Structure 1
Amino acid sequence: MRDERGRLLLIRRGRDPGAGLWSIPGGKVEQGESDHEALTREMREETGLVVAVGDHVGSVERPAPGGLFEIHDYRCSITAGDLSPGDDADAATWVDLAMFTTLDDRNALVAGLCATLSDWGELPR
């Protein structure tokens, strides 16, 4: 998700997988939930923001204990709330391209995030 300045919303993961690393908000789809319902719930839990889910941006698979995570990303817009980390996020912030690149250079992003967002044309501005 981007703000009106084109900055990307990142959370720092408070738990594994990827504890201490920065990523885009997200999480598991609970049984009986649609992707949109899960995304709305996870955004509120991790960031304090209420969002409207938009177009699908892309999908990727990542290694997971005992298999693979299948990750689907969507564009979102904020409809309510104030940015505040929660649930398994211990920090949340908006980053521009310079800060995103710095985090990538320091290996502070979850594996593959920069390359995936670049492939999708979704890097921050």
Structure 2
Amino acid sequence: MGAIIRDGSGRLLLIRRGHPPGEGLWSLPGGRIGPGESDSDAVVREVAEETGLTVTPGRLAGAVERPGPGGAVYVIRDYLAEVSGGTLSAGDDAADARWFTEEELVRLPLSPGLLDALTEWAVIAPP
């Protein structure tokens, strides 16, 4: 699961992956759901671990399927979320964490399909 978070200026929060899969690519903060953990709890935990921010999860923005190792298929659900506290700093498996305008997104090395998904879900305007 992942979190779609905007700041007061409308910029989108992305993290640069520090480890495989997707090492070096910019993506939404997020990760795996732990045993017995709800999507909402996982959003709060993963965002805190990767960005230092506390968030309040909102509605499901959309879901995508992505290939995994050994022929596995991951279903990734991305939720809108709002910052409620903390200070932005990269942590856990994030090599960096920053706010980006929609115009800046097209120039970044993004995780495959991220730009298309955000556009399809009407999170960002078409490039």
Cα RMSD (Å) of the superposition? Answer: 0.9
Query: In the alignment, residue 25 of structure 1 is paired with which amino acid?
Result: P
Q: Which residue in 2 is equivalent to 1:95?
A: 100
Contact 1:8 1:123 in 2 (8 A): no
Alpha-carbon distance in 2 for matches of 1:123, 1:13 = 21
Partner of 1:115: 116
| 1:1-125 equivalent positions in 2, closer than 5 A | 1-66=5-70, 67-103=72-108, 108-123=109-124
Identity %: 49
- Contact (CA 8 Å) 1:7, 1:95: kept in 2 or not? yes
**What runs of 5+ residues in structure 1 fail to find an aligned partner?**
none
Paired residues, number = 120
Post-superposition Cα deviations, 1:8-35, rounded to whole Å, max 9, x if no partner, equal 0000000010000000100000010000
The runs of at least 4 aligned residues of structure 1 exceeding 6 Å deviation read: none
Asked whether the equivalents of residues 27 and 42 of structure 1 are also in contact (C-alpha less than 8 Å), the reply is yes
Secondary structure, in 3 states, of the residue corresponding to 1:102? coil
Per-residue deviation, 1:101: 1.4
Q: CA deviation at 1:91?
A: 0.2
Q: How far off its partner does 1:37 sit? A: 0.5
Name the amino acid aligned to 2:38: S
The two structures have a TM-score, normalised by structure 1, of 0.93
Structure 2: gaps of 5 or more residues: none
Counterpart-to-counterpart distance in 2, 1:88 and 1:100:
21
Counterpart secondary structure, 1:50:
strand
> Equivalent residue of 1:59, what SS?
strand
Superposed CA deviations along residues 39-63 of structure 1, whole A, max 9, x for unmatched, are: 1000000000000001110011100
